Amino acid sequence: MIQLVHGGHVEWGIESLVTELHTLRVQSLENRQRREHPPKLPSKKILSQIVENLGSVLFPNRLGLPDLNEEGIDYFVGHTLDGILRQLNRQIGLELQFVAQQEGRDDDMHAQAIAITRQFAAELPKIRTLIETDIQAAYEGDPAARSADEVLLCYPGITAVIHHRLAHPLYLLGAPLVARVISELAHSATGIDIHPGAQIADSFFIDHGTGVVIGETAVIGRYVRLYQAVTLGAKRFAKDDSGMLVKGNARHPIVEDHVVIYAGATILGRITIGRGSTIGGNVWLTHSVPPGSHVSQALVRSELFENGGGI
The CATH number of whichever domain residue 151 belongs to comes to: 1.10.3130.10
Averaged pLDDT for residues 129-155: 96
Q: Which domain holds residue 265?
A: 198-311
Averaged pLDDT for residues 11-36: 80
Phi, psi of 103 (to 5 degrees): -90, 5
Decide which of 271 and 22 is more confident. 271
Q: Cα(216)–Cα(164) distance, rounded to whole angstroms?
A: 12
**Residue 121 — very low, low, confident or very high, per pLDDT cuts 50/70/90?**
very high
Q: Is the same domain home to 161 and 177?
A: yes
Domain count, the chain: 2
CATH of residue 244:
2.160.10.10
Q: Is the same domain home to 105 and 181?
A: yes
Residue-level pLDDT at 144? 95
Q: Is the same domain home to 79 and 181?
A: yes
- For residues 250-275, b (16+ Cβ closer than 10 Å) or e, as one string? ebbbbbbbbbbbbbbbbbbbbbbbbb
User: Is the model's pLDDT at 299 over the cut of 70?
Assistant: no
**Residue 300 — very low, low, confident or very high, per pLDDT cuts 50/70/90?**
very low
12: amino acid identity, one letter: W
Q: Is the same domain home to 164 and 52?
A: yes
The 8-class DSSP code of residue 202 comes to S
Q: Which of 162, 192, 222 is the last residue of a domain?
A: 192
Q: Cα(170)–Cα(151) distance, rounded to whole angstroms?
A: 25
Q: Cα(249)–Cα(217) distance, rounded to whole angstroms?
A: 8
Q: Is the same domain home to 172 and 232?
A: no
Averaged pLDDT for residues 264-291: 96
Task: State the average pLDDT for the chain.
Answer: 89
Averaged pLDDT for residues 294-303: 64
**Residue 4 — very low, low, confident or very high, per pLDDT cuts 50/70/90?**
low
Q: Is the same domain home to 154 and 296?
A: no
Q: Is the same domain home to 185 and 46?
A: yes
Residue-level pLDDT at 285? 95
Whether residue 32 is contained in a domain is answered as no
Q: Cα(206)–Cα(157) distance, rounded to whole angstroms?
A: 5
Identify the burial level of 48 via C-beta atoms within 10 angstroms of its C-beta, where 0-12 means exposed, 13-18 middle and 19 or more buried.
middle
Residue-level pLDDT at 136? 97
Q: Is the same domain home to 184 and 206?
A: no
The predicted-structure confidence for 86-98, as pLDDT tens digits, reads as follows 999 999 999 999 9
Please, where are the H alpha helices in 215-283? none
